Structure 1
Amino acid sequence: MATYKLFVSDMDGTILHNHTKIANETAEIVREAEAAGIRFAIATGRNYVNAKQILDEVGLSCPIVSSNGGRVLDTSGEVLHEIDLTIEEALQVIDVLHQDDKYADVFYEMYTEAGLVASRGDLIEASMKNLKANGDDRSLEMYEFFKNRYYVNEDVKIVDDIEGFIREEAGRVYKFIAFSSHLEKMTALWKEIEAQVEGVYVTSSGNDNIEVMAHGADKGNGVTKLAEHYGIDLSEVVVIGDNLNDVPMFKVAGKGIAMGNSHKDLIAISDHVTERHDEYGVANALKRVMTGEWE
């Protein structure tokens, strides 16, 4: 029977039961796995502070690969690895995003050393209205997420002069994430950033977004750094996720488990498929790994 020493889970669409919380039932299985000698970790596109808040709510403390691999931190919050965009790269991304004739309905956030930042509050408000008007489950889920982000918790700083902020206040810039319900614009934006900005890695955690990091800032490298830190061979690592930004860690780990709600391209390279995120898919997969059902 194969013995795995590290189990790494994505957050959105994976361990988060309803996009905002980890189910208590899942947290209990994580604790059982840790007691059995399987170290647990998170690999997420979210920033470290937000990811840790979600874990704290259910009493979990673990290493976190945040910003899609831009930052890797141990259980105590010590930074093990960081890779960020240069000021020039960040400004070039902004240049593409600010072409109003093409991307007038796209809003974006920037993950920085100084915190989570957004620009053009008018686009955020317009996008919120569109999400609510769409009425489908994904749109309403995202509407609630952004309502809490901007109007309840106020986690995001709105700045007018984003270029000036990058030059003078941001410190390290780890990631951009752009959103739009117009999927064809997400595809066009992805291609344009790749064509115009050298040294960046573009991926997605959903059809309605794209994420931009420095080249090398991906979950595969993040998980590799984490395994090295704990002296664990990559063959002894299990990863679980649901979307394209999880592909790099599936390529390096000993075992890759896709959620039932996963992107078809991730399912195609997975070793197993578990239940959906709202059907305790992570907890069930972890049980199968612990018992040896999935060697």
Structure 2
Amino acid sequence: MIKLIASDMDGTLLDTNMHIPEKNVAAIKYAQAQGIEFMVATGRNRLEALPSLTEAGIKCAMITLNGAQVFDEEGNSIFMESIELETAEKVLDLLEKEDIYCEISTNKGTFSQSKERRIENFATMVAEAMPHLTHKVAIAMSTARLEYLPIHFVDSIREVMRRKDIIVLKIICFHRDGSAFLGPAARMVNENFTNLFVTSSGQNNLEINHHLAQKGIAVAHIAKDRGINLDEVMTIGDNLNDVSMIQAADVSFAMGNGLPEVKEYAKYTTDTNIAAGVGQAIYRAIKENL
């Protein structure tokens, strides 16, 4: 019997408007009523993840920043895996030489040096997800999203990293030309830093964490803490940063809109995020006692 469900957010739990469909909300609350714990496992930080959950009336524990930080349902930090300052600076040196735009996610939020480049890169992501949109509309949607997803714009993220109160948890990189630039960059990071883990949540980004900051490791950590076996855990995702938790759980679902690689690793496939595939997966798992 399933006792714990961990779901990705973007491309999985959320629709294209960054809302949780009502069918997903109903399924989550049905599972909770059965005594099953639901939690999200996202690349976002907690402040970015919270609005959609609050709007839907869902209170739950969160795996954030791909597993770099875990919070209980009250918002208390219970687990953290950070990137050392020296390592983070060397990574930025490497990526900036390739003109790859980078941001840092920290214990104090996400920091960027360029509002314009962030909008430009997010517009590219929006256009990929909704190719029928014009570039102008994609830019407008990306600009509006800045109000929804809090970010701090600063003159130097290196100066931020050197502050005594800052802990670097993730480096996220974007390039509008996608894998043509980011593929070689990922290989460079992997070759030079054995203590880091490189993954992605979209075609035009890279996400760099401590090698122990992975969704699958965090899910296993929480399950052990709860006294739950991994054969009693269900995970749902759509992209490369979900693979570790798809592999970790005995019951795993790939979204219908998910990458082929994710579908290969998952035991089951559900509908798309637009069609409330998370809700369908939850009802199926409970009904069929997966």
CA distance in 1, matches of 2:281, 2:122: 34
* Gaps in structure 2 of 5+ consecutive residues: none
Residues 77, 27 of structure 1: CA spacing in aligned structure 2 closer, same or farther, 3 A cutoff? same
Aligned-pair distance for 1:107?
2.4
Distance 2:127 2:47 in 1: 31
CA distance in 1, matches of 2:284, 2:156: 50
Deviation at 1:137, TM superposition (A): 4.8
Superposition deviation, residue 76 in structure 1: 1.0
What are the equivalent positions in structure 2 for 1:1-295 lying under 5 Å apart?
3-18=1-16, 20-99=18-97, 102-103=98-99, 106-127=100-121, 136-137=131-132, 143=139, 146-150=142-146, 152-153=147-148, 155-168=150-163, 171-183=166-178, 184-292=180-288, 295=290
Quick check: 215-224 or 158-167, which moved more? 158-167
| CA spacing shift, 1:245–1:139, aligned 2, 3 Å | farther
Q: Percent identity?
A: 30
Q: Is there any run of 5+ residues in structure 1 with no aligned partner, and where? A: none
Rate the CA distance shift 1:164–1:139 in 2: closer, same or farther, 3 A: farther
Q: CA deviation at 1:130?
A: 6.0
- Cα distance between partner residues in 2 of 1:145 and 1:39: 33
Looking at structure 1, the residues matched to 7 and 158 of structure 2 have their Cα atoms a distance apart, in angstroms, of 34
Amino acid at match of 1:23: P
Q: Per-residue deviation at 1:157?
A: 0.9
SS of the residue 2:216 aligns to:
helix
Distance, in Å, in 2 between the alignment partners of 1:122 and 1:176 is: 18
Cα deviation, 1:218-261, whole Å, max 9, x if unaligned, reads 00111011112221111100000001111111121111110011
Deviation at 1:73, TM superposition (A): 1.1
- CA deviation digits over 1:13-57, x for unaligned, max 9? 101012511112211111011101211110000101111221001
Q: Distance in 2 between matches of 1:131 and 1:219?
A: 22
Q: Counterpart amino acid of 1:31?
A: K
Note the C-alpha offset of 1:115: 1.3
Equivalenced residue count is: 287
TM-aligned CA deviation for residue 195 of structure 1: 2.1
Letter in 2 for 1:118: S
Q: 1:77 to 1:284 in 2, by over 3 A?
A: same
Secondary structure of the corresponding residue to residue 190 of structure 1: helix
Retained in 2: the 8 A contact 1:201–1:214? yes
Residue 196 of structure 1 and its aligned partner are, at CA, apart by 2.7
For residue 60 of structure 2, give the secondary structure of its aligned residue in structure 1: coil
Do 2:119 and 2:143's aligned partners in 1 also have CA atoms closer than 8 Å? no
Query: Partner letter of residue 73 of structure 2?
Result: T
The change in CA–CA distance for 1:243 and 1:32 in structure 2 (over 3 A counts) is: same
2:2 aligned counterpart, secondary structure: coil
